[in-house]
Amino acid sequence: MTSSRNIVILTGAGISAESGLATFRAEDGLWEEHRVEDVATPEAFARDPVLVQRFYDMRRSAVLAAQPNAAHRALARLDREWPGDLLIVTQNIDDLHERAGATRVLHMHGEALSAWCMACDARHPWREPLGDNPPCPACGMAALRPDIVWFGEMPYQMERILAAVTRADLFVSIGTSGAVYPAAGFVQAATEARAGTLELNLDRSLGSRLFDETRLGPASALVPAWVE
């Protein structure tokens, strides 16, 4: 597959599309049905918490109903077998990489199956609706919000991600449109660090020309073929 030693893989909504989870910017995507500024900003949550909680209750149910596909399974196999450094940085809030068996996974935009208490800062694994305003199991306050990075908020573990990208020999981007920063800037950081760069996507991303190579097609075919 490659003679590289240290690999960073960035995944986006496209890798979970064939598991039945909607992407954001497609014609039938999530942002067609919902205005970003109504559901994915801290201002929206302050203005209308019930609407935002319902949106993420719906997303949580969809995640629980979905199953990993061949692309998740291929990355999990690579994770298991790869002797060098490897980090799967996912922008996705689903747990399909983990359910396929991958362990070296970092959720930079948060997780659907986690709730975060704004009163005591505790995080809890969460599978139930938050729209009912349940109390935090740690402090008892009804201050739980989805553990999601919204626009204007700082993505998680940026230092760890940038350190991994800087050390990478190979950076692979899978199923992401390159519309959202800072993730969209990782390819440039990888190039500056002299890593090889590969894009696997259904359509060209906005930053496609920045990659050494782009392969177009569905993730369920492209990712297993690359991992082989």
**Positions marked catalytic:** 109
Q: Which residue is nearest to ligand BJW (CB)?
A: 14
Sequence-ordered strand ranges (E) for the chain? 7-11, 86-90, 105-107, 110-117, 123-125, 144-148, 170-174, 196-201, 213-216
Closest distance between ligand BJW and the C-beta of residue 168, in Å?
18
Q: What is the 3-state secondary structure (H, E, C) of 105-120?
A: EEECCEEEEEEEECCC
Output 100 or 169, the one with its CB closest to ligand BJW: 100
**Encoded tokens for 9:** 């893989």
Q: Which is nearer to ligand BJW, 5 or 189 (CB)?
A: 189
Backbone angles phi, psi at 216, to 5 degrees: -105, 135
Q: What DSSP letter does each residue of 164-203 carry, written as one string? A: HHHH-SEEEEES--S-STTGGGHHHHHHHTT-EEEEEESS
CB-nearer residue toward ligand BJW: 29 or 134: 29
**What is the nearest approach in angstroms of ligand BJW to the Cβ of residue 10?**
9
Q: Name the minimum Å distance from CB 144 to ligand BJW.
A: 16
Rule CB under 6 A: which residues touch ligand BJW?
A: 12-14, 17-18, 23-26, 29, 40, 91, 93, 109, 148-155, 158, 175-177, 179-182, 201-203, 205, 218-219
Q: How far apart are CA 17 and CA 25, in angstroms?
A: 12
Annotated binding site: 12-31, 56, 59, 91-94, 117, 120, 136, 139, 175-177, 201-203, 219
Annotated binding site for NAD(+): 12-31, 91-94, 175-177, 201-203, 219
Annotated binding site for substrate: 56, 59
